[in-house]
Amino acid sequence: MNLLGAYVPGSSPLHRLDPCIRMLSFSIIFAAIAISDSICGYLLSLAAVVLLYRIAAVPLMPSIRTLWRFRAFFITVFLMNAFFQPSDDPYLSWWIVMFSSDGIIMGARMVLSVILLTQLSSLLTAVATPIAITDGLRTLLHPLSILRIPVDEASAIVSIAISFIPVLAAESSSIMLSAASRGAVPEGRKAKEKALSLIPLALPLFLSAFRRADELAAAMEARGYRGERLRRRRISLSFGGREAFSLLLSISLLIGAIALKGVL
């Protein structure tokens, strides 16, 4: 199962990219998606994301199926925008509710952006191990350490948080199964009741997350970890043809997204 945040071992060009360049390229593509505001812009971003999944040889469908579980969230985001976006020419206006074509377009944009950004994030964690992401982030953010920003620690936090996503997803499934076996989450109830019955499951999940975090911290310290300061990179940073092509492609996409702003 391809859970969001899970690393997918492979030897594709994306897997073999220099960690720093990969992080930089993905950041540029994130920016391109974030600034897209037209159908053409979104189509371009969508094509780029699908192409990257093909290059990485990471299956796209399991990731989309995972997103499908969050459909209620996406519908809520869309409806919030559709009904509460201020507009000069609403179809319907009552109290603070304003249903308009502007709201519908804004809602669709938000949902598309979130879906594309989530898919891209999922791809990043699929092609890079948390340690490689830390290496990339640390190198990219290094200039900020001059301003006494704890770059090493921040990178490590991001890395550990990413590596915990699949672990916590598996843990939550286990807790839900355990609760279901004791009748806590019966199948076929109404959505509201189902949502309320999930609240008690949050406590064991949080406790489990804290326990695991505590154990991981002790294990990391026991293996000589102390805030990345002394760590020596096992993978030397390099810049070759693959890295140059990656940067070129991502910058082209950003330029394309800027050029297509407001087109259609």
**Between 212 and 242, whose beta carbon lies closer to other proteins?**
212
Q: Does 237 bind other proteins (CB under 8 A)?
A: no
Count of positions (residues) in the chain: 264
Site for other proteins in 207-236 (CB under 8 A): 211-212, 215-216, 218-226, 230-234, 236
**Between 181 and 236, whose beta carbon lies closer to other proteins?**
236
CA–CA distance, 67 with 127 (Å, rounded to integer): 19
Q: Does 17 bind other proteins (CB under 8 A)?
A: no
Q: How many residues bind other proteins (CB under 8 A)?
A: 29
**Between 6 and 29, whose beta carbon lies closer to other proteins?**
6
Q: Does 167 bind other proteins (CB under 8 A)?
A: yes
130 closest CA partner among 172, 166, 94, 103? 166
Find the binder of other proteins among 117, 131, 201, 249 (CB under 8 A): 131
Q: Does 148 bind other proteins (CB under 8 A)?
A: no
- Using CB under 8 A as the criterion, which residues of the chain lie in contact with other proteins when the complex forms? 6-7, 9, 129-131, 160, 163, 166-167, 211-212, 215-216, 218-226, 230-234, 236
